[in-house]
Amino acid sequence: YRLTEATRLRATAGTGVKNPTYTELFGFDPTSFVGNPNLKPEKSKGWDAGVDQTFAGGAVRVTATYFAARLKHEIFTDFSVFPFTAGNRMTTSKRQGVELTLQAALDEDWTIGAQYTYLDAVENGQEEVRRAPHIASLDVTRRIGDKGSITVTVRHNGAQLDNAFTLVTPPIVKLDAFTLVNVNMSYDLSENVQLFGRVENLTDERYEEVFSYRSPGIGAYAGIRTKF
C-alpha cells in the first residue's frame, strides 16, 4: 500500500509443504542409515510485514521487514539409534526476525548497499543449529565510465551453533563468526567483448559454515565474454 510517493507498506503470508525425499523414506545402508516410510511431510506457515522508504528523489532507499514462520514435523536424522534413521520432530520450529536494507546512489559513479538480518530461530526452547542470529553485508560499486564497474562486497556471518559429528550422539558446538571480502569487476573491451574477473575471500579468511568442513580460501577467476 503506497502511503505517499516515498513511502510504501507491504505484507505477505503463505503456507508450504515439503515432502520427504526418497532416501529419507526408503534409503538403506546396513552400516549407517535406514529410511523411515512413516515420515510426515514438513508443513510451514509464515508472514512478513515491512515498509519501504525513499529519500533524495529516490537516490536512497531504505527498507525494514519483520518476518515470522512456524515449521511443523521437521525432518531430521536420528543419531540415537543404529543404523541411523529419519524422523519427524515432535516440537515446532519457530523463526522470527528483522531485516534492514539500504541502497544509495552517491553520484553517477558510486553506489552502496547494506543489509542486516537478525534471526531468532528456536525449537523446543533451544537455538537451532546452522541459523546464525546475525548476518550483515556491505557492497560498494564504482562505475568505470560507461564501460565497466568494480564491486567490493564485505559479508559478515555471526557465530552459530552446529552438530559435531564426532560421537554417536553429536554434541552441540559453536562455530566462530567470520567476515569475507569479495571483489567483482567487468569491463567492455568493445560492443561484443567483455573482460570480467572476481576474487573470492580476498583476505584468505579461515572459517567453517559446517563443523569440521573448512571452506575455500582465497581464489581468483577471470574470463572473457563475447556475443555475436
Q: Is the pLDDT of residue 221 over 70?
A: yes
Ranges of each domain in the chain: 43-72+89-226
Categorize the per-residue pLDDT at 165 as very low, low, confident or very high, splitting at 50, 70 and 90.
Answer: confident
Q: Are strands 93-105 and 110-123 parallel, antiparallel or unpaired?
A: antiparallel
Does the N-terminal peptide bond of residue 20 adopt cis geometry, omega within 30 degrees of 0? no
Helix or strand (DSSP H, E) at 207:
none
Confidence of residue 80 (pLDDT cuts 50, 70, 90): confident
pLDDT score for 170: 78
Q: Is a pLDDT exceeding 90 seen at residue 166?
A: no
Asked if the model's pLDDT at residue 141 lies above 90, the reply is yes
Using one digit for the tens of pLDDT, what is the confidence trace for 9-21? 999 999 999 999 9
Residue with cell 522508504: 53
Mean of pLDDT values over 34-52: 97
Cα angle vertex 10, ends 98, 123, to 5°? 35
Query: Residue range 83-91: average pLDDT?
Result: 93
Whole-angstrom distance, CA of residue 25 vs CA of residue 31: 17
What is the pTM assigned to this prediction? Answer: 0.87
Comparing CA positions, the residue from 53, 54, 52, 43 lying closest to residue 16 is 43
When the pLDDT of each residue in the chain is averaged and rounded to a whole number, the result is 95
Side-chain-facing half-sphere of 56: CA atoms under 13 Å: 9
Helix (H/G/I), strand (E/B), else coil: 159: coil
- Residue 85 pLDDT > 80: yes
pLDDT of residue 101: 99
Mean pLDDT of 124-129: 92
Residues sharing a CB contact under 8 Å with residue 22, sequence separation 6 or more, in sequence order:
none
* CA of residue 219 relative to chain centroid, distance: 21
Question: Above 90 in pLDDT, residue 82?
Answer: no
Question: pLDDT tier at 89 (50, 70, 90 boundaries)?
Answer: very high
* Residues 6 or more apart whose Cβ sits within 8 Å of residue 38: none
Q: Is 168's pLDDT higher than 70?
A: no
30 has pLDDT over 90: no
Count Cβ atoms below 10 Å from residue 222 Cβ, excluding itself: 10
pLDDT at 90 over 70: yes
Which residues, including other chains, have CB under 8 Å from residue 93's CB and lie 6 or more apart?
Answer: 70, 71, 72, 74, 121, 122, 123, 128
Determine the distance from the C-alpha atom of residue 87 to the mean position of all C-alpha atoms in its chain, rounded to a whole number.
25
Give the CA diameter of the chain.
65
Mean pLDDT over 64-77 rounds to: 96
Q: What is the pLDDT of residues 95-125, one digit of tens each?
A: 999 999 999 999 999 999 999 999 999 998 8
Q: Is the pLDDT of residue 142 over 90?
A: yes
